[in-house]
Structure 1
Amino acid sequence: MATTGLLDKVKQNLIIDHTADDVLLNSYITAAVSYAESYQHIEEGYYTTNVMPATTEQAIIMLVSHFYESRDGSTGGFFADNVSASQQVWNTVNLLLRLDRDWKV
């Protein structure tokens, strides 16, 4: 499976060294991968059997981290005092995902 190891990378990014939130993080990973596949115009489940480009992987790590840090509905994390932080995350994620997008017409 190409998405193996994402949990460890997300936990490293979030500086988490426990397993208490693994189920939650895995649900966020599933959602982020689904978003990436949809945004990139590739079939659902593509990244379960195909190599995930590094830029897409980074976008997913960022998006999962954002979901986790913002699970209470705020911008969350270190950027809670910045009202545009949430939009900045989405802009960056989408820019990264565009690099591996299938530009079908």
Structure 2
Amino acid sequence: MALDTLLEKVKANLILSHTVDDELLQLYITAAVRYAESYQHISAGYYGENEMTPTTEQAVIMLASHFYESRDGSTGGFFADSVQAGRQVWETVNLLLRLDRDWKV
């Protein structure tokens, strides 16, 4: 899956219809994809040429959305009133990524 196809899915998740932040969102998507590749023990750039499973794609969408909503360094976005929200996002993302992890020793 090309990384740019994730942009529309992240924007839908964030309920964004404007294009003002597309460049910023693309940076967050790239960071989320790199995190997924690292966490899953696969080579950098793998998802630039290979399709993501639905669970990995959902993790990337969630993480990129979290980066966008938390860009000020807080737990951010709709969850600013919950101190545990930031941690819960990371736990959920890691659980999703674990399903496709390459368990090398």
| TM-score bracket relative to the smaller structure | over 0.9
Please report how far the alpha carbon of residue 77 of structure 1 lies from its aligned counterpart in structure 2 after TM superposition. Answer: 1.3
Looking at structure 1, the residues matched to 29 and 2 of structure 2 have their Cα atoms a distance apart, in angstroms, of 12
Task: Tell me what 1:49 maps to.
Answer: 49
Task: Tell me what 2:65 maps to.
Answer: 65
Secondary structure of the structure 2 residue equivalent to 1:66? helix
The 4+ residue runs of structure 1 with deviation greater than 6 A are none
Please report how far the alpha carbon of residue 2 of structure 1 lies from its aligned counterpart in structure 2 after TM superposition. Answer: 3.3
Please report how far the alpha carbon of residue 61 of structure 1 lies from its aligned counterpart in structure 2 after TM superposition. Answer: 0.3
**Unmatched tracts of structure 1, length 5 or more:** none
Quick one: percent identity of the two aligned structures? 75
Instruction: For residues 1-26 of structure 1, give each alpha carbon's deviation from its aligned partner in whole angstroms, at most 9, with x where no partner exists.
Output: 53341000000000000100000000
**Number of corresponding residues:** 105
CA-atom RMSD in angstroms: 0.8
The answer as to whether partners of 2:14 and 2:65 remain within 8 angstroms in 1 is yes
Structure 1 segment 22-101 matched on structure 2, within 5 A: 22-101=22-101
Looking at structure 2, the residues matched to 78 and 31 of structure 1 have their Cα atoms a distance apart, in angstroms, of 21
The answer as to whether partners of 1:39 and 1:97 remain within 8 angstroms in 2 is yes
**Unmatched tracts of structure 2, length 5 or more:** none
TM-score (norm 1): 0.97
Instruction: For residues 51-70 of structure 1, give each alpha carbon's deviation from its aligned partner in whole angstroms, at most 9, with x where no partner exists.
Output: 11000000000000000000
